[in-house]
Amino acid sequence: MRIDILTLFPQMFQSPLSSGIFKRASDRKLVEITVRNIRDYTHDKHRTVDDYPYGGGAGMILKPEPIFEAVEAIKSDIRPEEEIGALQVVLLTPQGRLFSQQIALELSRYSRLILICGHYEGIDERVREHLVTDEISIGDYVLSGGELAAMVVVDAVIRLVPGVLGSAASPIDDSHTTGLLEYPQYTRPSVYRGWAVPEVLLSGNHAQIAKWHREQAVIRTAERRPELLDKTNLTSSERQLVEQLQKH
């Protein structure tokens, strides 16, 4: 998978991309991430990337030319054997569709992604209409730019690329893949400041432990994010458990 990020603030990506999952994915040559400065695609002396809005109003608007040229430059080096349909051009904007595990899974299936970091004051609408194929928001709050959102999206997407996570960790069991929040976890010591780890986890009885994990995940989800249960497959006894919890 190849991901190109277009931004006015490439230095924001330096530290995140050189640690953790990003580094691991690049080191293993599973994902190649390139950060490009939109300003490098301007032609004037002042390297102008924004301008006043037609019709007036507050703030500056990102000009279309550098963004079109940057995307076209990236597209032009797509190898002929690669399908152009395998490319998605994503604009990060608070006006986009709300990001979710489902969307991360969707994006992880493309071999090429171009992420454009928008800025809240705005971007010329022709970029949206004629260049971008998808618009994503990471939540109902306003960030000053799309950079942090792009990092969130890239993290969530690349960990789904086969081989990026170690074999031990599987994204199949993640919260939001099963539709349930994760169950509580413990490590040594078995008693800390008088607080004991639940007995069942020390029992060595794998069937009992699996049952407890599942039950705890259902309880936790019912208590914290009951709306997630609408989309989850629960057994009838699990449904009963949820109804019991909702009465209290």
CA distance 75 to 71: 6
Q: Which of 58, 142, 168, 191 binds ligand 6GU (CB under 6 A)?
A: 142
Closest alpha carbon to 32 in 41, 22, 40: 22
- The number of residues making up the chain comes to 248
Q: Which of 64, 66, 146, 171 binds ligand 6GU (CB under 6 A)?
A: 146
Q: Which of 145, 177, 220, 232 binds ligand 6GU (CB under 6 A)?
A: 145
Closest approach, Cβ 14 to ligand 6GU, in A, equals 20
Dihedral (CA of 69, 70, 71, 76) sign: positive
Does residue 199 have an active-site annotation? no
Does residue 174 have an active-site annotation? yes
Q: Which of 54, 84, 85, 141 binds ligand 6GU (CB under 6 A)?
A: 141
Does residue 159 have an active-site annotation? yes
Pairing state between β 50-51 and 61-62: antiparallel
Q: How deeply is 147 buried, as exposed, middle or buried, from its count of CB atoms within 10 A (0-12, 13-18, 19+)?
A: buried
In the window 98-137, what residues touch ligand 6GU (CB under 6 A)? 120, 136-137
Closest approach, Cβ 147 to ligand 6GU, in A, equals 8
The CB density around residue 4, as the number of other CB atoms within 10 Å, is 21
Q: Which of 138, 156, 158, 229 binds ligand 6GU (CB under 6 A)?
A: 138
Is 221 one of the binding residues for ligand 6GU (CB under 6 A)? no
Closest approach, Cβ 32 to ligand 6GU, in A, equals 22
The CB density around residue 8, as the number of other CB atoms within 10 Å, is 18
Nearest residue (CB) to ligand 6GU, 137 versus 216: 137
Q: How far apart, in Å, are the Cα atoms of 198 and each of 184, 189, 193? A: 10, 12, 14
Is 92 one of the binding residues for ligand 6GU (CB under 6 A)? yes
The active-site residue, picked from 65, 69, 94, 134, is: 94
Question: Longest C-alpha distance within the chain, in Å?
Answer: 71
Is 189 one of the binding residues for ligand 6GU (CB under 6 A)? no
Nearest residue (CB) to ligand 6GU, 88 versus 232: 88
CB within 8 Å of 227: residues ≥ 6 apart? none
Q: Residues 7, 38: contact at Cβ < 8 Å? A: yes
The active-site residue, picked from 4, 64, 159, 238, is: 159
Nearest residue (CB) to ligand 6GU, 94 versus 179: 94
**The tokens of 206 are what?**
């794998």
Tell me the catalytic residues. Answer: 94, 121, 159, 174
**Binding footprint of ligand 6GU on the chain (CB under 6 A):** 92-94, 120, 136-139, 141-143, 145-146, 149
